[in-house]
Structure formats: C-alpha cells, structure tokens
C-alpha cells in the first residue's frame, strides 16, 4: 500500500514552482481545449489538480506493483524466443498496469490520445518508476520516442503511430551499432529506397538496443550511399513487422537493469518510413532526442539515488550494534545526511532543467501553428539555451550521485549489503549504467564546458544569487557568491594559455564547480519556499564547499606542463 | 446485448493497518483514526461489473452506496475506474443500521432504479465481516443469488454462468437474470484508476458537497450532468421507517473486546533451513503444533 508519489512531498513541491503557471498556460495554450475534451483542464489550478491525481495513480502502481516485482524481474529477466523478446512476468504486469491506467502518452497532445502533460510531471513519473525499478524505467521512458515523432515527422506518420502509444505500444530508439557507440557518425545500417515498392528498406545490424523488440522503432540509418559521416544519416520509423525482416539475435547479459532487454537486432529488407527530412537524422533529430534522453536518465538517476537512500535509512534505523541503532553513530548519520542532500540537490537541478525544457518545447508546439512574436522567439531561445546548459549537468551529477548513494547504501548495510538478500545490491548494479549510457559523464563535461568558458553558468549563478531568500540563508549565500568569484578566476586561469589539452584536462573540475554552485543556490532558494529543504540546503552547501575548495586548490597549484605526467607512458 | 449492472459498494475504515487508537474506550471503532477506504472485496466486485461492461456493448455500471456524505468518495473512485454513475444513500434515518436494516435500505434503493439485470457486491466488508448484506438484499428483492463468485464466465439467453470459489475447490453454476452475485477476494484485482477518467470526473460532487465547498467550477455542473452525484435521502426512496436505522436493527452489540496478542518472548531467525528445522522440532516437542 505504498504510494511513491505521495510519500515524497519533495515531488509535489516542484509542481508548485512559480514558473509552472507560465508552463501550463503555454502548454495548454490558454486552456483552449477545455470544452472539446472532457478531461482537459479548465484553468491552472485544475491542471495542477489533474497532474496530482495522475501522479497519485502512477505512484500507487509504482508502490504496489512495480517495486514489489523488481526483485523477481531482476532474477528472471527477458528472454529471446523465436527471434522475439519475451519480457519477464513482472515486467509484463508492470506494463499492463500502466497501460490500463491510461498513462502512456502522458506528454502527447490530446488529439493523439495523450494527456498533454508538461515535462515536469512526466519527468516525475520517470523518477518514481525508476525508484521502483530502474530497469523498467527504460521501457516506460522510451515513450520519449513519441515526442520525436510528434516534433519532426509528417502528419501522416504522426497519425499512424502516435495514437498507438496511449494504447500501450512500446518504443525503442535504435542508434548504436558495433562500431558506432559514442561516435554515432559511424553508423552503417543501410537504408535504400525501393522504387518498385515505394518504400525504404533497412539492412544491417544494431547493437545494445534497449527494448529492441518494441512495436514502434526509431532507427538511425545511412540513406546517402557513399557517405561516411553524420551528414549521410537519416531517421526512420519502423512498424515492427515481427517477421523475418527483423530479428532479435540476442539479449545482452548485463550487470544491472536486467529487466530492460538490451538487444542485438538484424534488419533484412525491413520496411521503414523516413521521419522528417533526409540527412537530418543525426545532426538534428538525434541531437534533440538525445537531450530528452539525458533528462530521462537524470530522472532515472534521481529515482535510483532516492531508492538507495531509502534502503540505507531503513536499515540504519533497524540495525542495532553496541546497544543502539547504527543511525545513532556519527559515521553513519553523516553518510545518510549527505546521501539525502545529494538526492535533494540532484532533484532540484533536474526539475529546474525540466522547467526550462518545458518552456521552450511549448513554444515549439505553438510555432507549429502560428509564427511566434519577436518576444516569444527571444523567450524561447533563452529557455532553450538554459535547458541546453543544464541538461549535461543533470545527467552527470544525478547519475554520479545515484552511484555514490548506491555505494554508500551497501556500506551502511555492512556485510548484509554484500549479500543478495537486500535490495541495495540490485540498486548498486542498476546504478552503474547511469553514468555511461546516453553519453558518459566524460561526454557531459564536453557538452557543458562551453557554458563554463562562455560565462553562461556564471551569469545564471549571478541571477540565482540576486533572488530574494530567507535571511537565515544569507551566510550560506555569501559563501557561494565568493565561490562564484573564485570560479571566474579559475576559468580565466584555464582558458588563458589557449592550450586545448590543458583546457580539456581541467574541464571536469570547472564543470563540477559550476554544478555544485548551481545546486547549492537552488537548494537555498527552494528552502526559502519550503522549510523541508533547509537541512539539505546547509548540508549540501557544506559538502559543495569542500568539493569546490579541493578543485580550486588543484587548479591553482597545477603547472600546465604537468599534463604530460598524467599521460600513460605505455600508450606507445 | 446490453446489461444494467448495479454494484453495491461500501466505504470502510481500513482495518488492515490498525494502530493503538483503532478502538474507542466504549468498544466501538474509532473511525477518525482509520483511513476510509473502498471495501476491498467490493473492488473485486466492481472489476467483475466492469468486465461485463467491456464485453457487452452499451452496458452500464451504477454504484449504490450507503453512508455519510464523505462516502461519495466511493462513487468517484468507481467513476475513475469506469463506472457510469452512482447513488449515495445518505440520511440520519439510516444511521446505526445493522445488516438487516442496511439490506432493507439498499433493496429499497435498487427498487427505485429503472431496471437491473445484475447486482454485484463484495462477499463481505472488512469492518463487520458478516457476509450477510449481499444475500439479504437478494432475498428482499426476491432474486436468486450466487455467492463467493470468482469470475463471471458468461451471460447468454437470460442466464449467467459463474465460477465460485469454495473451501475445497471451485464450482461453476448457472443462474437466471436478474440476479445478485457476491464476489470473493480471490477474484481478479480491480483495474487501476484511469487517468482520463480521473481528469474527467474529479469535480464530480453530490449536492451537499457542492453546498459545503465554495467551488470555482460550479458552472460545470449544468453543462456536464455526469458530474452530479445523486444523493438519496429517506424521502427519495419508498421505505417503512420502522425498518431503518437503529429502530430496524435487531442486532445489539453487547461488548467488544480488543484482544492484543503478546508473545512473552521472541526469537529472530535468519531463515536458514537448519534453523527452521530446529524450530519445527521445538514446536512439536512443546506441543505448540502437531
């Protein structure tokens, strides 16, 4: 009888953020559907009320069905039978429950059977589903593909595929190949247009495809013969024919998220339809989808970080040693306090970023119907920039914290945590992929560093620092302001020599400082709105201060020539 | 073929998570301390009703519940899952009803409905555990009844086929419509609330609720008649007041005792086979079991 939405008031808090009113008004285009759909909201309050209701439904399914199934799903996993994927029994049950609740297609427009929810509540569903079972969160989260179809495909394709999402048909995003992982420009799967059949046919192999046997598949393929880079790639939608033209060759045997089938697929003259324009596959569509996917992994990570903390907290209260519960010992309660602060910090960042995504995406939908005014265009552009700079921070920090919390969760459990008897060991394995897929942490640094060096983070930090707060946090804020000053100096030191290798070598440190400052500021602002964040605001700021000081000291004391010292002498 | 289906549902205190203050000093249930929930087996009954509706196009599911004003929540919860409408029987005259008076009031309410093919209800409510109300309603309406149903298998030619769960097996029986069916907890769980239905019906209210709450959405009740939950007082249905409430309730509770099991000593086992073996031997030796 658990409800994973109601039991964490931290989630509901983000539905009350001041920016929500703008987001909902844009998304609902001034509530114009209130009389055409009986489930459309009448006004802002009505919309928030609806979000709460639907979050409660999903929270209940997470608590009562998905979480209790997680252990069995982890043991059983999916199987390949006759070139098809068969989900674990629990996975089928989870999917069925969400389908019956009518919540698939949550962010799609109502004309396609969706609920037209903004990203904020949608991302929340990703978080709580992941807290229940991180592996299942992939199957749930791949409905993101519908967003891509909605944004870029023709009306005909939209009408063919989108209404099926709400009926519970699942999606997959088929990008990776044996020789094209982080470097997607190397994709080789061939798309050829068959003049006789008047359709595109796909031939080749995809690897590491999450939920690869989905009904609706988005496939990146080379449509321009003779090309070898990203400009020869187009995007296709495949209505899984479930016949010999598409086979699941195998499912990977993974360390974690075992319930999520990771497939190797063979395409043999598989019929496909092109999404949007040719040659825009990688450079436009996948890039856009990738930002959504990174936000998705951010949500998944916060869910895992929360689950790890919950398990550790429960055990620390229950387990007695030396005559008292182990949570009474400073070594343990400090660990738990920092775990909680990391969850709160990553969550604050996640929803801040999601709000930015919401605003610019809503403008995008409006722009489909009418040209935006100049003010709207500028507003949309500003929010898109904010979203672009926050997304890599979310992906990197949330996934790293999920792993750190999972590690500490086992540590709090002691020897028992190393056994298969407690959920923390599954959480630990599930967490490990989060810093890797949809762009490693190292690649997030590559995406984020330009916002460090062009001053975008510092400018945003200065805005946060100027926001009114509860005077009780002035001391914490002053410390943050002086750290932002130090960050500016550190940026100057790293960029001045114009040495690319030194710059890249220091990039992670600078990005981390910026991230710590963003999260500390957000927690202080959130704590000024609601006291429940006061403790984490202080604890996280202390933690961040120590981390930032460490990085600053390293940058400060580092001689540029010393980069060579770190190069592997065996690399010849 | 379309069916007119009625579900009898009850709001009950959640006795599954009973805390220290669950009972008042006088031995009655402290309803304020327990969350009010949809009686679990009534949810199984609702699922059976909704499956009939899914199968036979044009069928309707009507909820009838008796209770205080807040029991309207049961009707909303049913609408969220696919029911079409609901009636809340609420009146001081119904207060203090035992099973006899309850089944009398419910049967009068059902007589007030235009037509009924199938009445489904949970086998019993978790607050009283009597399993009497369903059968009594059937008797008062002069209808056949099938109890302990696990699955309604088919409806054809005016007959309904039902699988019953008995203590030592299952039994498949046939009954003539109209009929009353009580559904067992072993029947399939009720479907979750449906997102679109929740958004459609979350403003649904009884007249009393509308008067009590200053609601911004009053304008909707005229435009959307389905948002009006009908309230029936004793004056809306034909009854003999002598059969209602305390007056109509021969059951008198003499005393209720709150029994708390307390073990003198406890033992914690890690779950190893050898430990369980030893425990079994010990329990057999001291005649706790065997």
Q: Is A40 on the interface with B (CB under 8 A)?
A: yes
Cβ distance B199 to A50 less than 8 Å, yes or no, reads yes
Picking from B17, B198, B216, the nearest residue to A57 by CB comes out as B198
- Domain spanning B4-243: CATH 3.30.460.80: no
* Confidence class for position A291, pLDDT limits 50, 70, 90: confident
Distance from CA of B258 to the nearest CA of A (A): 25
pLDDT over 60 at A572, yes or no: no
DSSP symbols for A234-265: EEEEEE---STTEEEEEE---SS-TTS-EEEE
A287-318 and A144-152 are packed helices; what angle lies between their axes, rounded to 10 degrees?
160
Kindly report the nearest CA distance between residue A125 and chain B, in angstroms: 13
The mean pLDDT of A434-461, rounded to a whole number, is 97
Residues with Cβ within 8 Å of residue A363, at least 6 apart in sequence: A26, A372, A376, A377, A379, A380, A383
Looking at residue B276, its pLDDT comes to 85
pLDDT at position A235 over 60: yes
When mean pLDDT is compared over B76-90, B256-270, B271-285, the highest value belongs to: B76-90
The domain A450-563 having CATH identifier 1.20.120.470: the answer here is yes
Model confidence band, residue B285 (pLDDT cutoffs 50, 70, 90): confident
> A-B interface: how many C-beta pairs under 8 angstroms?
52
Give the mean model confidence (pLDDT) for residues B99-126: 95
Choose the weakest-confidence range: A280-289, A524-533, B253-262: B253-262
Domain boundaries, chain A: 9-166+283-435, 171-279, 450-563
- The larger pLDDT score, comparing residue B268 to residue A101, is at A101
CATH topology assigned to domain A9-166+283-435: Butyryl-CoA Dehydrogenase, subunit A; domain 3 (1.20.140)
Instruction: For residue B199, give the nearest of A45, A53, A97 by CB distance.
Output: A53
Quickly state the pLDDT bin for A400 (edges 50, 70, 90): very high
pLDDT of the residue at B96: 85
Residues B198, A115: C-beta atoms closer than 8 Å: no
Nearest to B84 by CA among B102, B68, B64, B69: B64
Tell me what pLDDT residue A491 has.
98
| A111 CB within 8 Å of a chain B CB | no
Alpha-carbon distance of B45 to A438, in angstroms, equals: 46
pLDDT digits (tens, 9 = 90+) for A318-341: 999 999 999 999 999 999 999 999
Judged by a CB distance cut-off of 8 A, whether residue A6 touches chain B is no
Task: List pLDDT tens digits, range B141-151.
Answer: 999 999 999 99
The span from the CA of A201 to the CA of A245, in Å, is: 10
| pLDDT tens-digit map of A370-389 | 999 999 999 999 999 999 99
CB B220 to CB A42 under 8 A? yes
Would an 8 Å CB–CB cutoff place A49 in contact with chain B?
yes
Contacts of A424 (CB under 8 A, 6+ apart): A308, A311, A312, A315, A406, A409, A410, A413, A417
Q: How far is Cα A12 from Cα A535, in angstroms, rounded to an integer?
A: 18
Asked if A267 contacts A189 with a C-beta cutoff of 8 angstroms, the reply is yes
What is the token pair recorded at B60?
A: 């309707």
DSSP secondary structure of A273-322: EEESSTT-IIIIIIHHHHHHHHHHHHHHHHHHHHHHHHHHHHHHHH-EET
Q: What is the pLDDT of residue A571?
A: 58
Cβ distance A40 to B197 less than 8 Å, yes or no, reads: no
Q: Over the stretch A512-538, which tens digit does the pLDDT of each residue have? A: 999 999 999 999 999 999 999 999 999
Residues of A with Cβ-Cβ distance to B202 under 8 angstroms: 49-50, 53
CB pair distance less than 8 Å for B196 and A39: yes
- Give, in words, the CATH class of A171-279: mainly beta
Three-state secondary structure of B142-177: CCCEEEEEEEEEEEECCEEEEEEEECCEEEEEEEEC
Q: Residue A362, exposed/middle/buried by CB under 10 A (0-12, 13-18, 19+)?
A: buried
Rounded to whole angstroms, the Cα distance separating A271 from A274 reads: 10
pLDDT > 70? residue B215: no
Average pLDDT over residues B245-259: 81
Greatest CA separation found in chain B?
Answer: 73
For chain A, percent of residues with pLDDT exceeding 90: 94
Sort out which chain B residues have CB atoms less than 8 A from A107's CB and list them.
none
Taking CA atoms, what residue in A is nearest to B217?
A42
pLDDT at B218 over 70: yes
How far apart CA B80 and CA B29 sit, in angstroms, is 29
* Beta carbons within 8 Å of A450's beta carbon, 6+ residues apart: none
Residue partners of A233: CB distance under 8 A and separation at least 6: A184, A185, A187, A220, A221, A222, A223, A224, A279, A281, A282, A283
What integer best gives the mean pLDDT of chain B? 90
The interface predicted TM-score of the complex, written ipTM, equals 0.90
Q: How far apart are CA A353 and CA A387, in angstroms?
A: 6
Name the closest residue on chain B to residue A103, using Cα atoms: B195
Per residue in A153-210, pLDDT tens? Answer: 999 999 999 999 999 999 999 999 999 888 899 999 999 999 999 999 999 999 999 9
Task: Express as a percent the part of chain B with pLDDT over 90.
Answer: 63
Q: Which residue of B has its CA nearest to A61?
A: B192
Q: How far is the alpha carbon of B261 from chain A, nearest alpha carbon, in Å?
A: 23
Give contacts of A38 with chain B, Cβ < 8 Å.
200, 224
pLDDT over 70, % of chain A:
100
Instruction: Note the pLDDT of residue B28.
Output: 66
């Amino acid at each position: 009888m658990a409800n994973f939405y109601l039991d964490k008031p931290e989630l509901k808090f983000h539905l009350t953020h001041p920016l929500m009113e703008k987001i909902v008004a844009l998304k609902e285009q001034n509530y114009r559907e209130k009389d055409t759909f009986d489930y459309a909201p009448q006004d802002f309050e009505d919309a928030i009320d609806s979000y709460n209701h639907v979050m409660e439904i999903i929270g209940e399914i997470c608590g009562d069905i998905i979480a209790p199934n997680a252990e069995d799903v982890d043991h059983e996993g999916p199987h390949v039978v006759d070139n098809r994927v068969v989900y674990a029994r629990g996975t089928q049950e989870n999917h069925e429950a969400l389908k019956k609740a009518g919540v698939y297609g949550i962010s799609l427009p109502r004309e396609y059977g969706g609920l037209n929810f903004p990203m904020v509540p949608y991302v929340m569903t990703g978080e709580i589903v992941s807290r229940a079972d991180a592996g299942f969160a992939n199957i749930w989260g791949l409905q993101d593909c519908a967003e891509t179809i909605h944004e870029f495909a023709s009306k005909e394709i939209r009408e063919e595929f989108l209404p099926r999402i709400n009926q519970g048909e699942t999606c997959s995003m088929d990008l990776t190949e044996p020789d094209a992982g982080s470097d997607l420009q190397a994709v080789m799967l061939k798309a050829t247009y068959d003049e006789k059949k008047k359709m595109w046919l796909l031939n080749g192999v995809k690897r590491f495809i999450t939920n690869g046997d989905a009904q609706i598949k988005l496939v990146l393929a080379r449509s321009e013969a003779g090309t070898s880079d990203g400009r020869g790639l187009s995007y296709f939608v495949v209505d899984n024919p479930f016949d010999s033209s598409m086979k699941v060759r195998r499912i990977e045997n993974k360390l974690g998220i075992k319930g999520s089938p990771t497939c190797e697929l063979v395409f043999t003259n598989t019929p496909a339809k092109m999404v949007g324009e040719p040659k825009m596959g990688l450079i436009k569509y996948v890039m856009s989808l990738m930002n959504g996917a990174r936000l998705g992994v951010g949500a998944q990570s916060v869910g895992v970080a929360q689950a790890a903390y919950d398990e550790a907290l429960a055990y620390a209260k229950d387990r007695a040693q030396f005559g008292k519960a182990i949570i009474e010992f400073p070594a343990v309660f400090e660990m738990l306090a920092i775990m909680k602060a990391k969850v709160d910090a990553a969550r604050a960042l996640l929803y801040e970023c999601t709000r930015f995504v919401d605003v610019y995406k809503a403008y995008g939908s409006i722009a489909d119907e009418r040209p935006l005014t100049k003010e709207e265009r500028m507003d949309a552009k500003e929010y898109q920039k904010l979203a672009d700079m926050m997304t890599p921070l979310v992906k990197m920090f949330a996934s790293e914290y999920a792993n750190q919390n999972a590690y500490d969760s086992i540590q709090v459990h002691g020897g028992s945590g190393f056994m298969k008897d407690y959920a923390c060991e599954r959480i630990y394995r599930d967490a490990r992929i989060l810093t890797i897929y949809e762009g490693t942490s190292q690649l997030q640094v590559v995406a984020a560093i330009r916002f460090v060096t062009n001053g975008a983070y510092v400018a945003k930090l200065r805005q946060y620092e100027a926001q009114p707060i509860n005077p009780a946090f002035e001391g914490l804020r002053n410390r943050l302001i002086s750290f932002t000053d130090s960050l500016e100096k550190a940026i100057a030191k790293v960029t001045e020599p114009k040495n690319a290798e030194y710059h890249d070598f220091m990039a992670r440190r600078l990005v981390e400082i910026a991230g710590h400052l963003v999260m500390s500021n957000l927690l202080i602002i959130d704590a000024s709105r609601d006291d429940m964040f006061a403790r984490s605001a202080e604890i996280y700021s202390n933690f961040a201060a120590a981390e930032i000081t460490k990085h600053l000291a390293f940058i400060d004391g580092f001689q540029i020539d010393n980069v060579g010292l770190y190069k592997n002498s065996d690399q010849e | 073929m379309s069916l007119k289906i009625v579900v009898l549902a009850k709001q009950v205190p959640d006795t599954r998570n009973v805390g220290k203050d669950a009972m008042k000093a006088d031995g009655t249930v402290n309803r304020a301390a327990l969350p009010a929930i949809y009686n679990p087996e009534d949810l199984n009954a609702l699922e059976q009703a909704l499956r009939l509706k899914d199968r036979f196009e044009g069928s309707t599911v009507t909820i009838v519940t008796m209770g205080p004003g807040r029991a309207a929540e049961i009707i909303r919860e049913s609408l969220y899952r696919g029911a079409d409408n609901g009636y809340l029987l609420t009146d001081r005259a119904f207060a203090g009803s035992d099973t006899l008076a309850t089944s009398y009031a419910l049967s009068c309410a059902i007589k007030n409905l235009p037509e009924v093919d199938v009445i489904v209800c949970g086998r019993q409510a978790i607050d009283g555990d009597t399993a009497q109300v369903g059968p009594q309603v059937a008797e008062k309406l002069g209808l056949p009844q099938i109890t302990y149903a696990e699955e309604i298998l088919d409806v054809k030619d005016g007959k309904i086929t039902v699988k019953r769960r008995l203590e030592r097996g299952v039994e498949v029986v046939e009954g003539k419509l109209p009929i009353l069916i009580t559904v067992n907890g072993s029947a399939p769980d009720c479907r979750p609330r449906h997102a679109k239905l929740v958004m459609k019906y979350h403003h649904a209210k009884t007249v009393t609720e509308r008067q009590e709450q200053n609601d911004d959405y009053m304008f909707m009740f005229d435009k959307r008649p389905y948002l009006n939950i009908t309230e029936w007082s004793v004056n809306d249905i034909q009854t003999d007041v002598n059969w209602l409430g305390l007056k109509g309730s021969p059951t008198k509770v003499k005393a209720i005792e709150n029994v708390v099991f307390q073990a003198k000593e406890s033992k914690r086992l890690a779950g190893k086979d050898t430990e369980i073996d030893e425990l079994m031997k010990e329990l057999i030796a001291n005649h706790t079991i065997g």
